[in-house]
């Protein structure tokens, strides 16, 4: 893997190159190369997701001191969704470096975007572990927060999940939560059923090929029961 080119693109030089390689190793790659010495990137993706949410939350909190929690939450959701992260990934040329199976490499559209977004989160997790808090924060500011102006201008944060959250916080004073109900199919062809909950009550379910897609579908179905009041 020509890591030097990617490091130049993102302005980060790794001390531990294995962390960078791990961040770019999709689960499917290990099926074709079972003797690959490194694990797939899902643990780093888990860490990077949390790190990314923290930095975006902190930035929005400082930028909008008068905005309520609900608006900050929907802005954060718009900035860390898979479409934005996939766009950032393409901007830094990440797709050239992700190691995945031949079958996955042929995927286009939403499946490809999800792979790119997950690799972005794994990359952030790797930067955090290798270069520390400040480097991961700088990376987030440079590549993710720069999309805020577009999000505000296009109001792309007004998706089903955002709309539902605003409605329910206004009417019921609580925040909807999401949880996996079922997860079926092989690793590279998962179908998720997600539930949206108000407190302990299951309100609606949704399906999708990613958790994000299934959550959006569940939120859309819940909005049918709790439309915004005119």
DSSP letter (8 states) at residue 25: B
Contact 122, 21 (CB under 8 A): no
Kind and range of the H or E element at 4?
helix 3-10
Contact 202, 218 (CB under 8 A): no
- The residue with tokens 């909005």 is 223
Catalytic residue among 22, 49, 163, 215: 49
Tokens representing 173 are: 């004073």
Q: Using CA atoms, how far apart are residues 7 and 175, in angstroms rounded to an integer?
A: 39
Catalytic residue among 22, 45, 121, 130: 121
What's the gap between Cα 111 and its chain centre?
A: 13
**C-beta atoms surrounding 188 within 10 Å:** 16
Known catalytic residue at 5: no
Contact 128, 16 (CB under 8 A): no
Report the relative pairing of strands 191-198 and 201-208 from DSSP bridges: antiparallel
Known catalytic residue at 45: no
Q: Using CA atoms, how far apart are residues 202 and 88, in angstroms rounded to an integer?
A: 34
Residues marked active site are found at: 49, 121
């Amino acid at each position: 893997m020509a890591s030097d080119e990617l490091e130049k693109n993102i302005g980060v030089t790794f001390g531990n190159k294995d962390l960078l390689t791990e961040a770019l190793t999709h689960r499917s790659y290990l099926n074709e190369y079972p003797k690959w010495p490194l694990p797939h990137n899902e643990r780093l993706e888990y860490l990077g997701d949390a790190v990314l949410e923290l930095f975006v939350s902190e930035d929005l909190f400082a930028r909008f001191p008068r905005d309520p929690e609900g608006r900050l939450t929907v802005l954060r959701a718009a900035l860390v969704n898979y479409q934005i992260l996939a766009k950032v990934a393409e901007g830094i040329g990440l797709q050239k470096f992700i190691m995945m199976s031949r079958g996955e490499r042929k995927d286009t559209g939403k499946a490809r975007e999800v792979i790119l977004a997950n690799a972005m989160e794994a990359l952030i997790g790797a930067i955090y572990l290798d270069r520390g808090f400040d480097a991961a924060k700088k990376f987030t500011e440079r590549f993710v927060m720069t999309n805020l102006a577009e999000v505000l201008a296009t109001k792309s944060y007004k998706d089903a999940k955002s709309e539902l959250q605003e409605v329910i916080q206004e009417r019921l004073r609580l925040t909807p939560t999401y949880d996996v109900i079922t997860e079926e199919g092989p690793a590279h062809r998962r179908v998720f059923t997600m539930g949206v909950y108000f407190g302990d009550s299951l309100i609606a379910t949704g399906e999708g090929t990613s958790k994000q897609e299934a959550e959006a579908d569940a939120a859309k179905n819940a909005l049918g029961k709790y439309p915004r009041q005119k």
